[in-house]
A and B are shown apart, each in its own frame.
Chain A
Amino acid sequence: MPIIRPKIKILDEEHKRLILEEAKSILEVQGVFIENQEAIEIFNEHGIKHKDLRFFLPPDLIDKCLETVPNEITLYDRDGNDHISLKEDNVYFDPGSAAIFILDENTGEIRDALSKDCIRFSKIVEQLKYIEAQSTSLIYQDVPKQAQDWHRLYIGLSNCYKPVVTGTFRKESFPIMNEILLACRNSEEDLARRPLAIFDACPSPPLMWSDLTTQSLIDSAKYMIPSEFVSMPLAGANAPITLIGSITQHCAECLAGVVIAQLTKRGAPLIWGGSPAVFDMKQGTTPMGAIETMMINIGDVEMGKFLKMPTHAYMSLSDSKIPDNQAGFEAGMGALLAGLAGINMISGPGMLDFESTQSIEKLIIDNEIVGMVKRLIRGIEDYGTPFASEILNEYSKKEELLSHPSTLKYFRKELFLPSQIIDRMTRDSWKNSGSKSARKRAKEEASKLLSRSPIKPINETLLRELDKIVKLYLK
């Protein structure tokens, strides 16, 4: 146990309370726009007042719904093993979801993604030690449009055993994706008991839950599959420019999600998350690497923790187009702050260019960043006194402490041991090994990782079953 868990906080209790109160009041007075028929029926059953499609959620209903949200979610891997627990300040990373481009590490070209890229990406995620979850990372163009969401889940699970962050693009896809997940479990109850996937549910700011995303939230709730809110207020564009205003809006949008899910099924597992951003006032873009974007994320997460919910954020991304200095420092700052904030699921490693591009090189570099962040949050450990004097007494015997028993016992625990991605060579060794940049080293690592056998290959029967489902729906 560390002496203290290194942390960052940017809101005090008083302001969290104020934000929550105002968010509830926004939902009561301004309401939330709902266009999904099933949600409208549920709201009507509960006698929620509305004007056309704008529903006004009473604060006591919100409070009641908050009471039944689980405080933690344990995710299980494809093979049903306990994998990660989204609770308290536990920190886990997954690559961002649904990029449309890949930065091809072999040609250096940014191009439309193909299914083979998604396969390669999944295989690499499987091998990366510090990326605990996978995501349906890429949207590829070589499957029919109507299969573009669910087919990724098949590719992901066939090539990587880690739990997956995913989502639907069409209402019709949820049953297919559910079928794919069920193939990995014994029954619906088993899938509910041992969740394998998280479904992203993305409200449309300000204060609107679209038909598609509401349906995904309702469908997931029915099967007790975790949903992750990915609300995306853009400060200064469709959300207040003040960071506190954006955090308040995000809070309202997520609270509406809590109500939809809990009215569908009490106890439905939810993750308080988002992908907010500030608006770049010159380019008109949504920088994920902006420090204010990260500040809003931390504020959003602090609200989630205030409500005792598992948390999520899109951090450790970069807006750069290539894995360069900017990509390194933006991903580094984001991952570090996310780790310090204790965000349970952090989506972003690998992503460039405002969530539009995945880069295998960046993913591999980010894995090292995440390793360092995880070291930082393990903090400084107290192994008991004396801390140094006894060890120093031994120095004179050998004039070094490298071979001291305490060094041997603790160095692997005390130090993050980086891979060759991080250059700590002498200048001569670096020169002799080809004067390579981190990007070049990452590219070489990619082919090394791709040539390795999977850590946990998929069992043949399951693969056949998944193939059968794909065949059926690809017709």
Chain B
Amino acid sequence: MSKEDFYEEMSRAVVNLDEDKALEYADKAIKENLSLLEVVEKGYAAGIRKVGELWEEGEFFLPELMRGAQIMQNCLDLLIPHLQSGSEKISRGTLVIATIEGDIHSIGKTIVGTMLRAYGYEVYDLGADVPAEKIIDIAIEKDADIIGVSALLTTTMIGQKKIVDLLKERKLVDKFKVIFGGAPVTDTWVKKCDADGFAENAIDAVKLVKSLMNK
């Protein structure tokens, strides 16, 4: 099998949601000393991109999107320790995400976290009902690029603004980009809070993060 065919097989395993095969190929790639960066980019990442496309086209639904992302993540977990440090860097960026204090709705944020990990981002998911101060402290500790804050309730959305306000207070505005998620969030709200963007769904969140990382 040519290298290209092998990458194609890896991609197909992700699209077919066949975790056993996907892991088996990752293992084989390690044993055969392939360029693992290429394996990730041309094999698995191509697969998860296809899964995202299928979801956007309406062929795939959230369970399939999530499963695809988890398979991707498990393959990355296997591959990452074997990447040569220094010359090969996999992480595209680091995010700290959480559902804001007072809000226990976590499913949307969990989906976004899973998708971002699958796309190669380092994600620290702090869970739900997390105080703004704690989110910022951990973002500093993890040297994050982006802070993602989710809120489902109009009553808790105000906590999203608090993040930006606190960053301003602590003169950390330039250090992090802040993005929002959740049903009540609108473009107007994002602008009002001086945040950097919001996404309607997990795939859009990946696109948003990608564009912010390139800025």
Contacts and interface: CB of A to CB of B under 8 A. Distances in A.
Q: Do A and B come from one complex?
A: yes
Interface of A: 398-400, 402-403, 407-408, 411-412, 417, 419-420, 426, 428-429, 432
B156 interface: no
Contacts of A428: 186-187, 200
A403 B70 contact: yes
Contact of B111 (A402, A411, A419, A432): A402
Contacts of B69: 403
A233 to B, nearest CB: 45
B56 to A, nearest CB: 12
B62 A402 contact: yes
B63 A411 contact: yes
Q: Which of B61, B63, B111 has the most CB of A within 10 A?
A: B63
Interface of B: 17, 58, 61-64, 66-67, 69-70, 106-107, 110-111, 114, 127, 183, 186-187, 200-201
A408 B67 contact: yes
B63 A408 contact: yes
13 contacts: A400-B106, A402-B66, A402-B111, A403-B70, A408-B17, A408-B67, A411-B61, A426-B200, A428-B186, A428-B187, A429-B200, A429-B201, A432-B200
A429 B66 CA distance: 21
A403 B200 contact: no
Contacts of A420: 58
A402 B63 contact: yes
Contact of B107 (A400, A408, A419, A432): A400
A362 B32 CA distance: 59
Given A398-B110, A412-B61, 8 more contacts: A399-B106, A402-B63, A402-B111, A403-B70, A408-B17, A426-B183, A428-B187, A429-B201
Nearest to B185: A428
Nearest to B204: A429
A366 to B, nearest CB: 20
B127 A400 contact: no
Given A399-B106, A399-B127, A407 B200 contact: no
Interface majority SS on B: helix, strand, loop or mixed?
Answer: helix
Contacts of A412: 61
A425 to B, nearest CB: 8
Contacts of B17: 408
Contacts of A432: 200
Given A408-B63, A408-B64, A428-B186, A399 B58 contact: no
A420 B57 CA distance: 11
A429 B198 CA distance: 12
B110 A399 contact: yes
Contacts of B64: 408
Contacts of A426: 183, 200
The 5 residue pairs across chains A and B that have the minimum distance between CB atoms: A403-B66, A402-B66, A407-B63, A403-B67, A400-B110
B2 to A, nearest CB: 32
A426 B182 CA distance: 10
A91 B17 CA distance: 35
B206 to A, nearest CB: 16
A179 to B, nearest CB: 43
Contacts of B61: 411-412, 417
A400 B183 contact: no
Nearest to B106: A399
A53 B64 CA distance: 68
Contacts of B66: 400, 402-403
A408 B51 CA distance: 14
B74 to A, nearest CB: 11
B66, B110, B114: which has the most chain A beta carbons within 10 Å?
B66
Contacts of B67: 403, 408
A402 B110 CA distance: 10
Nearest to A406: B63
Contacts of A398: 70, 110
A411 B110 CA distance: 19
A154 B110 CA distance: 55
Nearest to B68: A403
A465 to B, nearest CB: 38
A408 B63 CA distance: 6
A411 B58 CA distance: 15
Contacts of A429: 200-201
Most chain B CB within 10 A, of A400, A428, A429, is at: A400
Contacts of B58: 419-420
A103 B23 CA distance: 56
Nearest to B65: A402
A374 B186 CA distance: 37
Nearest to A411: B63
Contacts of A400: 66, 106-107, 110-111, 114
A402 B55 CA distance: 14
Contacts of B187: 428
A400 B201 CA distance: 16
A412 B63 CA distance: 10
Contacts of B62: 402
Contacts of A399: 106, 110, 127
A432 B107 CA distance: 23
Query: Interface centre among B61, B111, B114, B187, by most A CB within 10 Å?
Result: B61
A428 B180 CA distance: 14
A44 B167 CA distance: 98
B186 A403 contact: no
Nearest to A407: B63
Contacts of A419: 58
Contacts of A402: 62-63, 66, 107, 111
A408 to B, nearest CB: 5
A288 B121 CA distance: 58
Contacts of A411: 61, 63
Contacts of A407: 63
